Amino acid sequence: MKFDVLTLFPEMFEPLKTSIIGKAIEKKLINMNIVNIRDFSEDKHKKVDDTPYGGGAGMIMRADVVDKAYQSVKKENAKVIYMSPQGKKLNQKMVEKLSKESHLIILCGHYEGIDQRIIDKIVDEEVSIGDYILTGGEIPAMVLIDSVSRYVEGVLKQDSIQEESFSNGLLEYPQYTRPEVFEGKAVPKILLSGHHENIARWRKEKSIEMTKKKRPDLLENN
Ligand code: 21W
């Protein structure tokens, strides 16, 4: 999976290069190319934005500068995603679908936004990560890259994907490790029984119980 990220703040993506995603990059399962939009400004002061036509607060990223950054990475088979508060709210189904693409170009806005003409020209899909306001699209882009990368073949150990929350529409069952007794609280007996069928049944029951208690909305949609 190839990710090209178009951003004014490339340094924000450094922390993503650790842990599981870092390993996947090392193994060349993921290729993450961070492009600084500012490098494509031809202005002598490297200006990338300007005041909005019609007036109003803030600055708008220029269509011509964003287009030059895009032209430097564009490929016939790439899907272009614009991280935007007005986009479709990201969910696990979208994540799984996006993971089947081979090349994503992710455009991050900052300041008040991006000139609509470049959005109309290049963007295939607008994606939000939820109904709250951030300062830019960079953290949402990292959320998308992190969640999509987990589905790329070889990134996770195979059984971790099937078992987790949302893949069966339920929350996860509680988990325990040593010590067997912590501050007087013992691990549920059944988990020490070695009886795999009973353990599986208990976990399923706990999943349903947890979901009823914490996220009843997940059951209503099933
Ligand atoms: C916040 C951009 C507010 C634009 C008139 C028209 C990307 C995001 C973002 C941001 C505005 C995502 C305006 C959840 C988010 C993002 C920065 C409003 C002003 N005035 N998902 N437009 N939340 N946010 N623009 O904030 O870029 S995905």
Q: Which of 125, 128, 132, 139 to mutate to test the pocket of ligand 1 (most atoms within 8 A of CB)?
A: 128
- Residue 55 structure tokens: 């007036």
State in Å: Cα 119 to ligand 1 middle.
14
State in Å: Cα 137 to ligand 1 middle.
8
Mean pLDDT throughout 118-135?
Answer: 98
pLDDT tops 60 at residue 17: yes
What's the predicted TM-score (pTM) here?
Answer: 0.95
Contact 4, 78 (CB under 8 A): yes
- Give the angle 45-117-4 at the CA atoms, nearest 5°: 70
Over the stretch 61-100, which tens digit does the pLDDT of each residue have? 999 999 999 999 999 999 999 999 999 999 999 999 999 9
Pocket of ligand 1 (CB under 6 A): 83-85, 109, 112-113, 128-130, 132-137, 140
pLDDT attached to residue 159:
67
Contact 219, 212 (CB under 8 A): yes
State in Å: Cα 209 to ligand 1 middle.
37
